[in-house]
A and B are shown apart, each in its own frame.
Chain A
Amino acid sequence: MFKFFRLAVKNVFRNKWRTAFTISTVSIGFVAIIVAAGYMDYVFEGLRESFIRGGTGHIQVFNNRYMDNEEEYLLEYGITDYQPLVKRINDHSNVRFVMKRIAFQGLISNGEQTKVFLGKGIEPRKESRLSTFFVRMEEGYFPGIFKEQEGEMQGAIGQGLAESLNAKVGDYLTLLSTTPDGIQNAIDIKLTGVFTTGIPEYDNRQVMVNISTAQLLLHTDKISNLVVVLEETTQTDQSIGSLQQQNAGFSFVPWYDLTPYYKSVVALYKRGFGVLGVIMVFVVLLASSNTMTMSVFERTKEIGTNLSIGTPRYRIWLNHIYEGFLIGLLASLIGTLLSYMVIYLVNGLDITMPPPPGRTMAYPLSITAVHSTIAIVSFITVAVCMLASVWPAYRASNLSIVDALGYR
């Protein structure tokens, strides 16, 4: 095999310019795929972490009945005796911390204007550990971060809501909600902070209060759910398996099932990437097929000579496939090198991208070097170049010897 491989190497470089042009075309296609995949990976990771750090956490724990039934009133299927459950989850080696949440809604007023809000009862110190990067405090601090004065309840609201209520840190606002028993209840909170999540729809509605404040407003001991934060996002599936086994009465839902937007973005990007991939495969196929066909035309007489000498037809076919393999291999090597150079260059330029649709925050452009994708694309490039050689190789191996020897 290797004795003929040497011949293939020499034949590939017989027409240096044409080979260089083909390899360049294939390499550029290779780089386009790798850069697109690297950017996509960066977007996916950023989006994933923004959802997780933005409040979703890695896993959320619900009462089993909450997952199967529609609640008729607030906290109907909340979690009551949660301390032993929190302890068991906290004991898991992958878990960084667990925090309690209450979701509720109601009206918020500054005395002059009233707006609808979506409330979150939270554990402020733990939430700030999760959300420091993605929920940015525009003013003040998370409610309850500093010691509350005796009898004083605190809260933070989204920037859009603060603007519409003309509320500033230090102002007092009234929250009105309905308890699980159907009674209207109201409390006054001191505004300790104004935050932005980057999503205007959230910023226009959201209120965060200490979980004890929420329980006081709702007149309940229950919580809606627990949020589990793991050491690493990659541990999600493994952790869910073992946690679910230990706590049969509860449902452990991973972050990706709680963020349908993430799934739709991933699906959209992957579709686009798929189209790009198909186009690139065609470019590679046409470029290398053209080169191989030209090569067969130019070497018709030589192929005829080799056949007359006694070269088996399969050997002629195989030698052309080797040439396709070599072109693919060289294009992959050069493409890999160029891809790393482009990624290094782009990441070093500190380019800022405009906010994506539905977001308010710009983000730095970064491309991840996804080594596994590079390996897969290299393999596909070599395979496509070999595939592109199949037909020209077949034509070469089936030439009539007499016609080929007479070819001018």
Chain B
Amino acid sequence: MGEVEVSALQNIAMKITAGEKLALYGASGSGKTTLLNIIGCIDAPTSGEVRYRDTVLDYSARRQLSQFRLQQIGFVFQSYNLMPVLSAYENIEYPLLLTDKSKSERARLVDYMLKSIALDKFKNHKPKQLSGGQRQRVAIGRALVNKPTLVIADEPTANLDVVTSKQILNLISDLNRTEKNTVIIATHDPLVRDYVDRSVMIRDGKIREVEDV
């Protein structure tokens, strides 16, 4: 008995415009997270190509991809994925530690981000001292602090109640406007549709429906 090869995505052709807010809808196993991972350069397609500003991404160049993610992409995860030993301030600061920014420059950017996500009073709190919504705000702060051009959010509201989900989606939308980044959200949550420019439905690894909102 050998391993069975499964195609998570097939014949995907899509273009995402700079500054756009896009939602990827689909059931579990539909392939939306795989598509998100490929766009986010943490997984590689077996065939086909991905272009970023007309440059074809080379998925075999791990070091360059790592640098590309650091400079161009911000990630927001369903379960926040914050480092429990670090405070809110330190979690947001982490991507900046990977750059050559000075301590004062880092402090300026983190403080600005803490104000933007309205958590400046909680800067010294560890993740376990924060609510789910506050943790997701910290995760958004970490994703945006390095001024990425693309923000990828995988089920950012899945663990939150409706009120908090709306607050998080408002925050993402506001930051999209002020930071002028592109946002792609993979979600089941119908609420997201109200906050994006376009929705793409994926089923069995294929794009089934595109809806401009």
Contact = CB atoms under 8 A, between A and B. Distances in A.
A313 B142 CA distance: 19
**Interface range, B side:** 20 to 34
Given A3-B97, A302-B81, A308-B42, 19 more contacts: A13-B85, A14-B85, A301-B81, A305-B75, A305-B77, A305-B83, A306-B94, A307-B66, A310-B68, A310-B70, A310-B73, A310-B95, A311-B66, A312-B98, A313-B63, A313-B66, A401-B42, A402-B37, A405-B42
B86 A309 contact: no
A4 interface: yes
Given A402-B42, A402-B43, A309 B70 contact: yes
A307 B63 CA distance: 11
B71 interface: yes
Nearest to B154: A405
B66 A312 contact: yes
A169 to B, nearest CB: 79
Interface of A is mostly: helix
Interface string B37-54: 100101100000000000
B212 to A, nearest CB: 30
Given A307-B66, A310-B71, A313-B66, A10 B40 contact: no
17 contacts: A3-B97, A7-B85, A11-B85, A302-B81, A305-B83, A307-B66, A308-B75, A309-B75, A309-B94, A309-B142, A310-B68, A310-B71, A310-B73, A312-B63, A312-B67, A402-B42, A405-B42
A315 interface: yes
Contacts of A402: 37, 42-43
A150 to B, nearest CB: 92
Contacts of A3: 97
Contacts of B69: 308-310
A4 B37 CA distance: 27
Nearest to B87: A10
A315 B83 CA distance: 16
Interface residues of A, number: 22
A13 B68 CA distance: 32
A306 B77 CA distance: 12
B37 A309 contact: no
Nearest to B86: A10
Interface string A1-40: 0011001001101100000000000000000000000000
A225 B191 CA distance: 105
B43 A313 contact: no
A38 to B, nearest CB: 38
Contacts of A401: 37, 42-43
Contact of A309 (B43, B62, B63, B95): B95
B84 interface: yes
The 9 A-B residue pairs whose C-beta atoms are closest, nearest first, are: A310-B70, A10-B85, A305-B81, A310-B69, A401-B42, A402-B43, A308-B42, A3-B97, A14-B85
Contacts of A4: 97
B83 A311 contact: no
Contacts of A11: 85
A397 to B, nearest CB: 11
Contacts of B43: 401-402
Residue of B37, B42, B63, B95 most packed against chain A (CB within 10 A): B42
Given A309-B94, A310-B70, A402-B43, A7 B86 contact: yes
Contacts of A302: 81, 83
Nearest to A309: B95
B52 to A, nearest CB: 15
A14 B127 CA distance: 13
Contacts of B63: 312-313
A405 B34 CA distance: 12
A310 B66 contact: yes
Interface string A292-316: 0000000001100111111111010
B142 to A, nearest CB: 7
A405 B62 contact: no
Interface in A352-408: 401-402, 405
Interface string A307-341: 11111110100000000000000000000000000
A310 B142 CA distance: 12
The listed residue with most A CB atoms (<10 A of its CB), out of B67, B73, B97, is: B97
Contacts of A305: 75, 77, 81, 83
A301 B154 CA distance: 15
A150 B73 CA distance: 109
Contacts of A308: 40, 42, 69, 75
Interface string A268-310: 0000000000000000000000000000000001100111111
Nearest to A315: B98
B125 to A, nearest CB: 15
B153 to A, nearest CB: 12
A297 to B, nearest CB: 15
Contacts of A312: 63, 66-67, 98
Interface string B75-96: 1010001011110000000110
A308 B83 CA distance: 14
Nearest to A401: B42
Interface string B16-41: 00000000000000000000010010
